[in-house]
């Protein structure tokens, strides 16, 4: 019973050649501080165009003599962090570890927190997940923080799931939770939503924002906007319900208006003015219809992609033996 427990450390890496090694040794230091647990590493090279994969392989080679296992999967191109996380989680789900941690390679997720996460996990039998939450967004562009806040507000108000503001993808999960996540077949993934959707009791640990070790964040303004829209559409069908109701109200309104016009014409005879207001109404509803079609198109587009059942990522090479 008092055997060593094993934890898979899942690390998505995209162009992190300067960070991976420092990151790895920083986590190993933390491992030394935690008794009764041993870490295994799963690096996912998300189609990096720099030497990230070489650095990972070097680490893996060096660790062969060690009991620590360092696995890696390298993608054929950049598939995005979501895909990288899935690859790591799937690998972990197949193994026989006790827990898995997802953590960024740029040391923006302080590895020391893993210790607290484990303590919190062990303290309560019913807890399956301990996740990190940023309490400050220091060092981040103001505009990004503002948009992020607005996104969480809207998301929590209108979608089926609750997403905690400041929640990052840094979390410790039980094996059964990892298995649940890995078994979700959707190809367009919004992990923040999936983590919440699978349920399980989650505890939160707060931490201060840390600057990335080296390099730049991979997020562009457009990338973040898409991410927010994707996340919302993945987990909310309220926009569609709202549109249905809205369409009904508009149709009823125009019906009433039509009747009023007929009555007016019958009682007071015909009058021609009203040209400007007619054009205004046409433009107004034309615009609304286009917007609605666009929104419906978003959902249909996703259904289209989902029905193609494409894999989330394509592996180029890996040191994991598939049986
Ligand atoms: N990442 C990835 N694929 C991508 C973009 C990012 O695997 O397409 C990894 C990246 O290497 C890092 C983590 O995801 O380990 C977080 O990325 P980043 O630091 O750019 O995001 P931020 O911290 O700004 O949210
Ligand atoms: Mg980062």
User: Which ligand 1 atom sits closest to the C-alpha of 16?
Assistant: 11
Query: Which of 11, 82, 106 is the best mutation target for the ligand 1 pocket, counting ligand atoms within 8 Å of the beta carbon and taking the most?
Result: 106
Q: How far is the CA of 18 from the centre of ligand 1 (A)?
A: 14
d(CA 161, CA 145): 21
Report the mean per-residue pLDDT for the chain. Answer: 84
pTM of the model: 0.73
Question: Which one has a higher pLDDT value, 303 or 19?
Answer: 19
60: number of Cβ within 10 Å: 17
d(CA 102, CA 69): 16
d(CA 20, CA 56): 7
Query: Which of 81, 83, 140 is the best mutation target for the ligand 1 pocket, counting ligand atoms within 8 Å of the beta carbon and taking the most?
Result: 81
Tokens of 42: 């799963």
Name the residue at shortest CA distance from atom 5 of ligand 1. 81
In angstroms, how far is CA 300 from the centroid of its own chain?
A: 21
What integer is the mean pLDDT of 141-150?
80
Any long-range contacts for 2-6 (C-beta under 8 Å, 24+ apart)? Answer: 2/36, 4/36, 4/37, 4/38, 5/36, 5/37, 5/38, 5/98, 5/99, 6/37, 6/38, 6/39, 6/40, 6/96, 6/97, 6/98, 6/99
Q: How far is the CA of 252 from the centre of ligand 2 (A)?
A: 51
d(CA 114, CA 124): 16
Tokens of 1: 């019973």
Percent of the residues in the chain that have a pLDDT greater than 70, as a whole number:
94
pLDDT per residue as tens digits for the range 228-268: 888 777 777 777 777 777 777 877 777 788 788 778 878 88
Give residues (CB < 6 A) around ligand 1. Answer: 12-14, 16, 46, 78, 80-81, 84, 104-106, 108, 212, 217-219
State residue 275's pLDDT score: 64
Question: Which one has a higher pLDDT value, 72 or 157?
Answer: 72
User: Which ligand 1 atom sits closest to the C-alpha of 78?
Assistant: 8
296: number of Cβ within 10 Å: 13
Q: Which ligand is nearest to the CA of 20?
A: 1
Report residue 190: phi and psi, to 5°. -125, 95
Name the residue at shortest CA distance from atom 19 of ligand 1. 217
d(CA 109, CA 246): 44
pLDDT at 323 over 70: no
Question: Which one has a higher pLDDT value, 96 or 159?
Answer: 96
Q: How far is the CA of 81 from the centre of ligand 1 (A)?
A: 6
Q: Containing H/E element for 99?
A: strand 99-102
Q: How far is the CA of 301 from the centre of ligand 1 (A)?
A: 26
Report residue 112: phi and psi, to 5°. -55, -30
Helix boundaries (H) for the chain = 20-33, 52-62, 81-94, 113-123, 142-158, 175-182, 191-197, 221-235, 238-268, 275-307
State residue 1's pLDDT score: 45
d(CA 248, CA 323): 56
For 186, which DSSP code?
A: -
User: Which ligand 1 atom sits closest to the C-alpha of 80?
Assistant: 8
């Amino acid at each position: 019973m008092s055997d060593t427990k094993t934890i898979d450390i899942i690390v998505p890496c995209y162009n992190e050649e300067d960070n991976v090694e420092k990151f790895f040794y920083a986590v190993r230091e933390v491992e030394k501080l935690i008794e009764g647990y041993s870490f295994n590493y799963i690096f996912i090279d998300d189609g990096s165009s720099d030497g990230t994969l070489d650095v990972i392989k070097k680490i893996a080679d060096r660790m062969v003599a060690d009991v620590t296992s360092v696995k890696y999967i390298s993608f054929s191109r950049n598939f995005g962090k979501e895909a990288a996380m899935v690859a790591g989680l799937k690998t972990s789900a197949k193994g026989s570890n006790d827990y898995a941690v997802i953590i960024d390679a740029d040391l923006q997720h302080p590895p020391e927190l893993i210790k607290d996460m484990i303590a919190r996990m062990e303290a309560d039998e019913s807890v399956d997940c301990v996740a990190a939450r940023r309490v400050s967004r220091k060092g981040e562009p103001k505009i990004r923080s503002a948009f992020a806040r607005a996104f969480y507000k809207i998301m929590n108000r209108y979608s089926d799931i609750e997403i905690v503001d400041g929640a990052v993808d840094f979390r410790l999960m039980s094996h059964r939770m990892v298995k649940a996540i890995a078994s979700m077949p959707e190809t367009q993934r919004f992990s923040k939503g999936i983590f919440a959707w699978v349920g399980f009791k989650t505890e939160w640990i707060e931490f201060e924002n840390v600057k990335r070790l080296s390099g730049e964040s991979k997020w562009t303004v457009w990338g973040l906007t898409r991410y927010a829209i994707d996340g919302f559409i993945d987990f909310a069908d309220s926009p569609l319900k709202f549109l249905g109701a809205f369409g009904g109200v508009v149709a009823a309104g125009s019906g009433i208006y039509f009747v009023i016009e007929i009555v007016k014409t019958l009682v007071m005879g015909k009058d021609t003015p009203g040209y400007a207001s007619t054009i205004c109404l046409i433009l107004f509803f034309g615009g609304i219809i286009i917007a609605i079609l666009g929104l419906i198109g978003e959902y249909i587009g996703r259904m289209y992609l989902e029905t193609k059942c494409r894999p989330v990522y394509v592996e180029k090479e890996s040191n994991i033996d598939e049986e």
